[in-house]
Every structure is written in structure tokens, then in C-alpha cells.
Structure 1
Amino acid sequence: WRAITTDTALRLGRYFGTTAEFWVNLQARHDLDVANRNLRKKIEKEIAPQAA
């Protein structure tokens, strides 16, 4: 598995007639999903929410 770089996003956008932002956002969403799955419990233990 390889991440979509900005270079690849530009190329995919050109090829598929979409924007590079679409591909970058897709990658960012995937990265956040993976981080949430792997780090959520650890972060919840380490960091207390700040009261508003």
C-alpha cells in the first residue's frame, strides 16, 4: 500500500477528470481513519478534554 502524494493526486486528477484535491482529501480521510483505529484509546488515556 502506498499513500497518494500530491504528484500522484495531480496525475490522477488529470487522468480521471477530477481535482487533485479530491485525491488528497481521500488520502487524508484514510489516514485519519487508520490513526483513529490505532491511536484513539491511547490518546483518550493520555489527554483529558479541556472544558469549554
Structure 2
Amino acid sequence: MTTDIATAPIHPGEVLMDEYLEPLGITQNRLAIAIGVPPRRINEIVHS
């Protein structure tokens, strides 16, 4: 038996904030510096 229940896709920014940044106490700026990208890029992922 299969079900056709669709779930809404989760935005990558929501996953990043809820599953990684907040639980680990990491700021967007700290993540950006650690991975060598502009802080604006992380902010755009989280808020787009």
C-alpha cells in the first residue's frame, strides 16, 4: 500500500538555523568565517 500524502519542502535556511546554528550556538558570521564565505551569503541562505 502506498500513500500519496505530500509534505511541504523545508527551506535550506530553516534547516541550517534550526538543526545546526541554533543548537550549536554558532552565529551566521562565525559560520561564514569558518567556511570562508562572505557573511552576507549565509544570511541570504537563511532568509531567502
**What's the TM-score once normalised by structure 2's chain length?**
0.44
Highest Rg: 1 or 2? 1
Q: Which has the higher helix share?
A: 1
Structure 1 length-normalised TM: 0.41
